[in-house]
Structure 1
Amino acid sequence: MVALLERGRSFFNIYFPGLIACCTVALAAVFLEEHYDGPAMLYALLLGIAFNFLSESDRTTKGIEIASKSILRIGVGLLGLRISFDQIAGLGWGPAVLMLAAIAATILFGWGVARLTKSRGAFGVLTGGAVGICGASAALAISAVLPGHKDAERDTIYTIVTVTALSTVAMILYPMMAGWLGLSESDTGIFLGGTIHDVAQVVGAGYSVSENTGDVATVIKLMRVALLIPVVLVIALLFRGQVGEGAASRLPVPLFAIGFVCLMALNNMMDLPTQITGFFVDLSRWCIILAVAALGMKTSFKSLVASGSVPFLLILGETVFLAVFVLGGMLLLG
């Protein structure tokens, strides 16, 4: 009992300050949404960025970190309770094929541009995979199977910082771009889910447009996330013999995606009470708003500038390429 109390006290001291800061920002975002009719996700992001200094404080950094990762995964996993098989069937095979082609094309584009600019081809694969699949998580997974060198850690950090910042910008700009292009709610969801790098920003951007757009964007994004392990294994085979033993064993498994699929299957196979599904869907929304607030706190444009121009320009080019590729594919698929 004493040991349990000590663990609880330790958790409280380490995580509570950061978590309460994120909760405060999330509550403020929802208040603004209810009184000024704007999207809570965007309010949470912008307010979070204003409190970026908290992510540099030892008292709050751990709580912000757990909110931006663990709580986000819980929120996305619980979204499975609001997705139906009919929605997935309605998308058809076209978007799945388009996502696979977009990921492969973006990685090849990154590799080609890196070689043309006399950078390491592996760096282009790293950035292309991060842009094409799921941002920071993909960067960490791919870096584990790429050849090691003295700047490997720096390249990974540069990629994560740049991808996160550009994904944050995309969360704000892409919904407006979709409206300007006159895309339907479903097509907007495909575009957002197929082009924005990180899960949090995809969910935030999608549900800032509408519930239907958010549902479609989440399904499309999780298609990309599900391709992480196969893509990383292919990269590991291509670079086999150039990495240390055990690298592949450190590949992260996207458990939240598995939870999403399991809850979606449960909701579609069983007639769950609306009170239960409603509670967890609301909990999911709060988790995601909390995570977006934490994500804003972690976004530092100063760090982006300090990371240098080469990774920024390369990832910016890959981001634009991915957006154009997905839009072009959507036009071809009709």
Structure 2
Amino acid sequence: MSVIAITAVNLRARELAPGFIVSLIAAAAASFLSEHYDAPVMLFALLLGMALNFLAADGRCKAGIEFTARTVLRLGVALLGMRITLSQIASLGWKPVALVVILVVVTILVSVVAARALGFQRLFGMLTGGATAICGASAALALAAALPQHPQKERATLFTVIGVSALSTLAMIVYPMIAGWLQLSPQQAGVFLGATIHDVAQVVGAGYSMSTETGDVATVVKLMRVAMLLPVIVCAAMITRRAGGDASGQRPPLLPWFAVGFVLLACINSTGWVSAAVQGGVNDLSRWCLVVAISALGMKTQLKELAAVGLKPIALMVGETVFLVLLVLALMHWGL
């Protein structure tokens, strides 16, 4: 590497360091609060980030915050691929796979239609529907990275993350009671919890609170939903290209680099060559990237902007969540 290149890298690192370090500190504080108060870490990261939103206007921190909210976010999404293997999906047979594919496709389509009926853009419906159907805040962040730039995109992303985190926490408490009330078997309860609760952590908490078998099944079903992230991202990229790209006129790649990274890591993880320690380390790194990125996104958003969203987006997300529960119960009743 030439002296000029090294100098350029050093200058870029110095430019990005203040904003990245601030985002990292906010993420560390969010993790501490999450562990001690047993609440979603994404929610704490958002709130702490929004409390520090004045830093986004600071010339020293602005570039680093922008980098963290965009590039670090995409890296975290790519690393999610280490959570799943093909053998995990195959172990449950074809019925849960069919159930997951149907619920993801139908929920997103219904969300897009409902969003249009409420006066929102279809991309907002895809964002909230994807978060509800796939894997909560992680899916919202991944889809936001794939969708075209728009003046309202960051506000919509943050609102979706807040809403899906709150609903997922509520679901972790309520859904096991629903499974007990319906007298579902341990495996049926695992399928129900894994197919309906938004975030992975809440699925694990709800599943193992019922039984070990329920927790194991719920986790695998949930990871199958995570695997649906890749085709949904590709569809979002295709829609963006067909629409002509973002406001800058650039056409995004058909398959974003972070989606390629996601599928490559999933394939590598499926070989069985990756040790448990490496898997855990990559999963922890992915979690940290997402938490740091959401802290940065919070810093870029004004509280008054979120307060102005009104009741319609809240009604949309609650409606999507209720629809998902009813759809899964119907599919299970029909033998899937």
Using the size of structure 1 for normalisation, the TM-score is 0.68
Task: Write out aligned runs for 1:21-100 (5 A).
Answer: 21-31=22-32, 36=36, 38=38, 42-43=40-41, 45-57=43-55, 58=58, 59-100=60-101
Q: How many residue pairs align between the two structures? A: 306
**In percent, how many aligned pairs have the same letter?**
29
1:128 aligned partner, one-letter code: G
**Mapped partners of 1:291, 1:245: distance in 2:** 23
Spell out, residue by residue over 1:49-98, the C-alpha distance to the aligned partner (whole angstroms, 9 max, x if none): 13413244234444344444433443443344453333111343334433
Residues 42 and 161 in structure 2, CA contact (< 8 A), matched pair in contact too: no
**RMSD of Structure 2 on Structure 1 (CA):** 4.3
Spell out, residue by residue over 1:182-208, the C-alpha distance to the aligned partner (whole angstroms, 9 max, x if none): 48556433323xxx4xxxxx3554566
1:70 aligned partner, one-letter code: T
Distance 1:27 1:2, change over 3 A: same
Give 1:325's match in structure 2, choosing from 324, 327, 333.
327
Distance 1:327 1:141, change over 3 A: farther
**Mapped partners of 1:180, 1:306: distance in 2:** 34
Give 2:175's match in structure 1, choosing from 178, 182, 199.
178
Stretch moving more, 19-28 or 155-164: 155-164
**Residue 160 (structure 2) aligns with:** 163
**Residue 304 (structure 2) aligns with:** 302
**Residue 212 (structure 2) aligns with:** none
Residues 172 and 202 in structure 2, CA contact (< 8 A), matched pair in contact too: yes
Residues 129 and 142 in structure 1, CA contact (< 8 A), matched pair in contact too: no
- What are the ranges of 5 or more consecutive residues in structure 2 without an aligned counterpart? 131-138, 181-188, 209-214
Distance 1:333 1:276, change over 3 A: same
**Mapped partners of 1:44, 1:244: distance in 2:** 32
1:303 CA drift (Å): 1.8
Q: Is 1:191 aligned with 2:196? A: yes
1:89 aligned partner, one-letter code: A
Residues 96 and 223 in structure 1, CA contact (< 8 A), matched pair in contact too: no
Residues 161 and 303 in structure 1, CA contact (< 8 A), matched pair in contact too: no
Distance 1:56 1:287, change over 3 A: same
Using the size of structure 2 for normalisation, the TM-score is 0.67
Distance 1:66 1:173, change over 3 A: farther
Spell out, residue by residue over 1:143-183, the C-alpha distance to the aligned partner (whole angstroms, 9 max, x if none): 69xxxxxxxx5665664454333223234333233343348
Distance 1:232 1:24, change over 3 A: closer
Task: Write out aligned runs for 1:184-223 (5 A).
Answer: 184=189, 187-192=192-197, 196=198, 202-203=199-200, 205-206=202-203, 216-223=221-228
**Residue 252 (structure 2) aligns with:** 250
Residues 19 and 63 in structure 2, CA contact (< 8 A), matched pair in contact too: yes
**Mapped partners of 1:207, 1:127: distance in 2:** 28
1:226 CA drift (Å): 1.6
Q: Is 1:128 aligned with 2:133? A: no
**Mapped partners of 1:294, 1:115: distance in 2:** 29
Distance 1:115 1:25, change over 3 A: closer
Residues 27 and 291 in structure 2, CA contact (< 8 A), matched pair in contact too: yes
SS in structure 2 at match of 1:250: coil
Residues 204 and 219 in structure 2, CA contact (< 8 A), matched pair in contact too: yes
**Mapped partners of 2:144, 2:85: distance in 1:** 31
**Residue 106 (structure 2) aligns with:** 105
**Mapped partners of 2:70, 2:201: distance in 1:** 14
**Residue 199 (structure 1) aligns with:** none
**Mapped partners of 1:297, 1:185: distance in 2:** 37
Distance 1:283 1:94, change over 3 A: same
1:264 aligned partner, one-letter code: A
1:223 CA drift (Å): 0.7
